[in-house]
């Protein structure tokens, strides 16, 4: 069955702005910029007759989807598309957060590049664990009967999901950009799935010109 699937990162949170590690363990809300981005996303895509909306279990994806939810599009919350867990660094800033994580992050990225996917941040999630749940979500998505589906999720999980959709090893995750409310469009046909739009933020042009 042919489908159009739109995959979107959530809007900006104050944690994003302050460079505080979020991950799956921090359930932060959108800030004013994030809410404006969410409104711009809705205005840019409300003309599409979505049959179904998926969000993660985290509030920032729900708030990003506010306009579509209020429009009455059927909504399913799925924890399989939650952000990756960054373990001991989640919710922390400064030397205990982003700066403290930088060395561990570089080491982790090197391991993933070497296809050591079972590696993860201390008390966090490995790339393989993330890929396993996203593979489960993708299989379910492929089997759905709905033809136009909106998925609102998170940066790192979008990167991993794009690799799975493209049939590429997940070590190439960082090749996929993920701006706040950036939109990927995926077409599903009898031949498979194809990414036809990547991290599109045209809906933010008017917002950015203010």
Please write the tens of the pLDDT for every residue from 123-152: 999 999 999 999 999 999 999 999 999 999
Q: Report pLDDT for 19.
A: 84
Residue 74's φ and ψ, nearest 5 degrees, are -55, 135
Does a structural domain hold residue 109? no
Provide the pLDDT confidence category of residue 209 given band limits of 50, 70 and 90: low
d(CA 41, CA 162): 20
Query: What mean pLDDT value characterizes the chain?
Result: 94
Among residues of the chain, what percentage have pLDDT more than 90? Answer: 84
- pLDDT(48) > 80: yes
Mean pLDDT of 162-184: 97
- pLDDT(173) > 80: yes
In the sheet that 192-200 helps form, which strands lie side by side, from edge to edge?
A: 75-77, 52-55, 148-153, 3-9, 183-189, 192-200
Residue 60: give its domain's CATH number: 3.40.50.1240
SS3 148: strand
Does a structural domain hold residue 103? no
Mean pLDDT of 7-12: 98
The pTM of the full predicted model, rounded to 2 decimals, is: 0.94
In sequence order, the β-bridge partners of residue 193 are: 188
Calculated CA dihedral for residues 186, 189, 192, 196, nearest 10 degrees? -30
SS3 48: coil
SS3 183: strand
Mean pLDDT of 35-39: 98
- pLDDT(97) > 60: no
d(CA 46, CA 29): 22
Kindly report, residue by residue over 72-89, the tens digit of the pLDDT. 999 999 999 999 999 998
Does a structural domain hold residue 188? yes
Does a structural domain hold residue 101? no
- The domain tally of the chain equals 1
Does a structural domain hold residue 108? no
Q: Report pLDDT for 94.
A: 56
Mean pLDDT of 163-181: 97
The tally of CA atoms less than 13 A away on the side-chain side of residue 193 is: 21
Does a structural domain hold residue 168? yes
Provide the pLDDT confidence category of residue 206 given band limits of 50, 70 and 90: confident
Does a structural domain hold residue 91? no
Provide the pLDDT confidence category of residue 98 given band limits of 50, 70 and 90: low
Count CB neighbours of 135 within 10 A. Answer: 14
Write out the residue range of the structural domain in which residue 166 sits. 3-81+132-208
Does a structural domain hold residue 100? no
């Amino acid at each position: 069955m042919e489908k159009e699937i739109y995959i979107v990162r959530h809007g900006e949170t104050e944690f994003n702005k302050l460079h505080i590690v979020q991950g799956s363990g921090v359930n932060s809300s959108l800030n004013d910029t994030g809410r404006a981005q969410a409104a711009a996303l809705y205005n840019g895509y409300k003309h599409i007759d979505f049959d179904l909306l998926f969000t993660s279990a985290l509030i920032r994806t729900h708030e990003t989807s506010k306009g579509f939810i209020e429009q009455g599009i059927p909504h399913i919350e799925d924890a399989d598309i939650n952000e990756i867990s960054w373990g001991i660094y989640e919710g922390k800033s400064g030397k205990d957060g982003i700066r403290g994580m930088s060395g561990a992050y570089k080491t982790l990225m090197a391991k993933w590049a070497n296809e050591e996917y079972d590696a993860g941040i201390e008390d966090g999630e490995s790339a393989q664990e993330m890929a396993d749940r996203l593979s489960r979500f993708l299989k379910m998505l492929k089997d759905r009967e709905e033809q136009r589906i909106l998925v609102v999720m998170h940066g790192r999980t979008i990167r991993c999901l794009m690799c799975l959709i493209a049939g590429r090893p997940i070590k190439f995750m960082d090749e996929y950009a993920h701006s706040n409310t950036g939109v990927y469009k995926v077409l599903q046909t009898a031949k498979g799935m194809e990414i036809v739009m990547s991290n599109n933020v045209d809906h933010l042009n008017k917002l950015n010109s203010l």
